[in-house]
């Protein structure tokens, strides 16, 4: 289990008055990821299953005023927040 925490933040005072009230702060965010590994066939095969953003936490909506379009894509910061919601992955690795 992995817990990813991002602290909350407020907009800079100089920008506060010209920014829509809803977009002046971001609450803290917590994401939980679950990873399971299982080894079989004489320890030569590893099967992994993962669930990212286990609780399906939605990203904050920030409007288009926060940051430039290279960092604020889709009205949030996709490099900081999970924009796809919960997702799953399954993989296998074989060592000969």
**Domain spans, the chain:** 2-94
pTM recorded for the entire structure: 0.78
Q: What average pLDDT does the segment 61-74 reach?
A: 72
Measured distance CA(70)–CA(53) in Å, rounded: 24
Can you tell me the distance from the alpha carbon of 23 to that of 66, in angstroms, rounded to the nearest whole number? 8
Query: So what's the pLDDT on residue 70?
Result: 66
Which residues have a Cβ under 8 Å from the Cβ of 3 and sit 6 or more positions away? 30, 31, 32
The model's confidence at residue 57, banded by pLDDT at 50, 70 and 90, is very high
Q: Is the pLDDT of residue 68 over 70?
A: no
């Amino acid at each position: 289990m992995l817990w990813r925490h991002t602290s909350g933040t407020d907009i800079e005072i100089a920008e506060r008055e010209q920014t829509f009230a809803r977009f002046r702060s971001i609450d803290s965010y917590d994401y939980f990821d679950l990873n399971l590994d299982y080894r079989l066939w004489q320890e030569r095969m590893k099967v992994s299953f993962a669930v990212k953003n286990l609780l399906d936490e939605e990203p904050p909506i920030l409007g288009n005023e926060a940051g430039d379009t290279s960092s604020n894509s889709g009205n949030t910061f996709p490099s900081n927040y999970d924009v796809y919601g919960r997702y799953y992955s399954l993989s296998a690795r074989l060592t000969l």
